[in-house]
A and B are shown apart, each in its own frame.
Chain A
Amino acid sequence: MITIEHLQKTAESLMDKAAIEIPKDYHDALKQASKTEDGELSTFVLKAMLDNYEVAKEDRCAMCGDTGVPRWFVKLGNDASVEGGMVALEAALRRATANATHGVPLRPNRVHPLWRTDHNNNVGIGAPEIEYGYEPDGDWIDLITVHKGGLFGTDYRMLFPSDGIQGIKRFYLDSLMAFGKRGLACQPAIIGIGLGGSKDTCMSLGKRASTLRVVGSKNPDPRIAQMEDEFKELGNSIGMGAMGFVGKHMVIDCNIEVGYCHTGGMPMSVHAFCLSSRRAVARLFPDGRVEYRTDPNWFTPYQRRETVEWSADQISVHDVEEVLT
């Protein structure tokens, strides 16, 4: 059994790491981008961002003053159990969010939509969001926190099969143009695209594609993987860089996730995970061990399963990793 004390302590540490330490995959990709950027202002901006990551780590200070909307993804191995059950887990994540807001400090961003009530701790009705996933094996729990911006860069549209790939490209470009100007999307960003599902799951898929997949990851469907490469190049061919200045780097990577949708439709969402792509992950084991990492490894074969039943011979990515290490 995983204790609540262990869980809350780890969650607080994750809030701290997410806010302060830029994940290596994004950091490496931005360093690479800054080497090939040739727009004068864009180059200056990327250099300032790279300096900012270093200062944040040195000063143990949040890399961005806008905390975004901190949220949690919790993935449980099928045999995992938590002291006090899931209600206790949710309380621990809410406590960790509140404590870290005061502790790091983070900006208390979350307010009531109408009355603008601010509890000064990023906790309120429906905040932080907590979403769940499960894996067939294991007694561990993965805690993932993501601090994604909450205002610009995301859009949804109901497309139809007759819109086709060219319609998908149009909406993708429209989203980049609309939110890339003046840098409202805080690009270069990890662009996540959700295709399919219903309206809400389409948004969720795209958000997860941007926040729960690392730079350089590929969709296992080779045709979708090819679209990811093509869309990255298309986005960067606009000629718009950081802050909407002339430049070559708008899309650090493009991740596409799909879900089965209504036979008549092809819903699409676009999301931008920004220059402060804040995510941190820990796996907790019942014996008190904890392993920190920055790759959520959310989209396992089990998460993307197509069949009615899940059979044991469909090896999960987690298992493959464990065999390899």
Chain B
Amino acid sequence: MSGPREIRLSTTPTAEAIAELRLGDVVYLDGLIYTAREGVYMRALEDKANIPMDLPGESAANFHCSPAARINEDGSFDMGAVTATASFRFSKWLPEWMEKTGAKLIIGKGGMSSKDYKDYFVPNGAVYLSTVGYGTGALLGRGIERVEAVHWNEELGLAQAMWVIKCNKMGPFIVASDLTGECLFERENEKISKNIEKVYEGTKPAVLKRYGETDDPADEVI
């Protein structure tokens, strides 16, 4: 088995570099990335606080992540493992965030739906990169050259703060959406769904029903 294609990518990528990416490619990143999740989105978009970075000039790579990190008494940082958090919860804020910050690489866990990709990723020239595993925190930690800054730590706490990280070959990440708006996870789900009927054969739905949106295992719950 040859394995997936491996690519080095800047965190301020050109449109051409993004157009080159295909579902399932493995990517390693160079340059600055910043973490932003619900805390940062709410503060920047709902409370209209000024974003403390020049975006996308400094970075077009938004990592859905809270690092395992500490701020030392002398103000320096120690960052160990970095692992992504599930991204589907952030689709409420992402269209406005992309428009405001020019983010081109959204990095996280589990991806978004192909509808999200087609609605606002593709029009913004952006793609989704998924972390691998999702527990490769130590591997990603090796890609940290240094922690440049942490913003809004006082307001949001260590886990929700905006960490700015200089990366050198940080990875691996997997390309989970491309500029056609296709979704890697949905592609895989579709292949797996063909087998569901056989696996479920003979099983019975529960006697006591629940209010809910689906009991079809071919559907997703995100």
Q: Residues on A close to B: CB < 8 A?
A: 38, 40-41, 43-45, 48-49, 51-53, 55-56, 59, 61-67, 102, 104-109, 111, 116-118, 120, 151-152, 157-160, 162-164, 166-167, 169-171, 173-174, 177-179, 181-184, 186, 234, 237-240, 242-246, 274-276
Contact of B185 among A43, A116, A117, A182 (CB under 8 A): A182
Which of B9-17, B46-54, B115-123, B192-200 participates in binding chain A?
B192-200
Q: Is B57 close to A, CB under 8 A?
A: no
Q: Is B204 close to A, CB under 8 A?
A: yes
- Docked Cα-Cα span, A55 to B142, in Å, equals 8
Q: Which of B136-192 contact A (CB under 8 A)?
A: 136-142, 157-160, 172, 174, 185, 188-189, 191-192
Given A52-B138, A118-B157, A118-B158 in contact, is the A182-B110 Cβ separation under 8 Å? Answer: yes
Q: Residues on B close to A: CB < 8 A?
A: 1, 3-4, 24, 26, 39, 65-70, 78-86, 109-111, 130, 132-142, 157-160, 172, 174, 185, 188-189, 191-192, 195-196, 199-200, 202-208, 210, 215, 217, 220-222
B84, chain A: closest CB distance, angstroms: 8
Chain B binding surface SS class: loop
B161, chain A: closest CB distance, angstroms: 10
B182, chain A: closest CB distance, angstroms: 15
Known: A65-B83, A178-B221. 9 other contacts (CB 8 A): A55-B138, A64-B134, A67-B68, A102-B70, A107-B81, A167-B206, A181-B220, A186-B134, A186-B135
- Docked Cα-Cα span, A192 to B131, in Å, equals 26
Given A166-B203, A173-B203 in contact, is the A238-B138 Cβ separation under 8 Å? Answer: no
Asked if A177 contacts B217 (CB within 8 A), the reply is yes
A173 proximity list for chain B (CB < 8 A): 199-200, 203, 217
B57, chain A: closest CB distance, angstroms: 27
Asked if A55 contacts B139 (CB within 8 A), the reply is yes
A45 proximity list for chain B (CB < 8 A): 132-133
Asked if B3 contacts A65 (CB within 8 A), the reply is no
Asked if B206 contacts A171 (CB within 8 A), the reply is yes
Asked if A108 contacts B157 (CB within 8 A), the reply is yes
Given A61-B80, A237-B199 in contact, is the A174-B215 Cβ separation under 8 Å? Answer: yes
Contact of A65 among B82, B86, B132, B185 (CB under 8 A): B82
B210 proximity list for chain A (CB < 8 A): 157
Asked if A239 contacts B204 (CB within 8 A), the reply is no
A166 proximity list for chain B (CB < 8 A): 202-204
Could you list some 21 contacts between A and B, CB below 8 A? Answer: A38-B1, A43-B1, A52-B133, A52-B136, A52-B137, A61-B138, A64-B138, A65-B137, A105-B80, A106-B80, A159-B206, A159-B207, A162-B207, A166-B203, A170-B204, A173-B199, A181-B220, A181-B222, A234-B199, A244-B189, A245-B188
Given A64-B135, A107-B66, A173-B217 in contact, is the A238-B110 Cβ separation under 8 Å? Answer: no
Contact of B188 among A169, A178, A246 (CB under 8 A): A246
A237 proximity list for chain B (CB < 8 A): 195, 199
- Docked Cα-Cα span, A181 to B216, in Å, equals 13
A133, chain B: closest CB distance, angstroms: 28
A101, chain B: closest CB distance, angstroms: 8
B90, chain A: closest CB distance, angstroms: 14
A184 proximity list for chain B (CB < 8 A): 86, 109-110, 222
Determine the residue in chain B with the shortest Cβ distance to A65: B83
Number of A-B contacts (CB under 8 A): 220
B19, chain A: closest CB distance, angstroms: 22
- Docked Cα-Cα span, A38 to B130, in Å, equals 21
B208 proximity list for chain A (CB < 8 A): 158-160
Given A107-B66, A238-B195 in contact, is the A160-B207 Cβ separation under 8 Å? Answer: yes
Asked if A66 contacts B142 (CB within 8 A), the reply is no
Contact of B133 among A117, A118, A170, A275 (CB under 8 A): A275
Determine the residue in chain A with the shortest Cβ distance to B66: A107
- Docked Cα-Cα span, A111 to B161, in Å, equals 14
A34, chain B: closest CB distance, angstroms: 12
Contact of A107 among B67, B192, B205 (CB under 8 A): B67
- Which of B68, B86, B221 has the most chain A CB within a 10 Å cutoff? B68
B158 proximity list for chain A (CB < 8 A): 107-108, 118, 120
- Which of A63, A65, A107, A177 has the most chain B CB within a 10 Å cutoff? A65
- Docked Cα-Cα span, A158 to B210, in Å, equals 10
Asked if B1 contacts A170 (CB within 8 A), the reply is no
Contact of B81 among A63, A160, A274 (CB under 8 A): A63
- Docked Cα-Cα span, A65 to B111, in Å, equals 18
Asked if A242 contacts B133 (CB within 8 A), the reply is yes
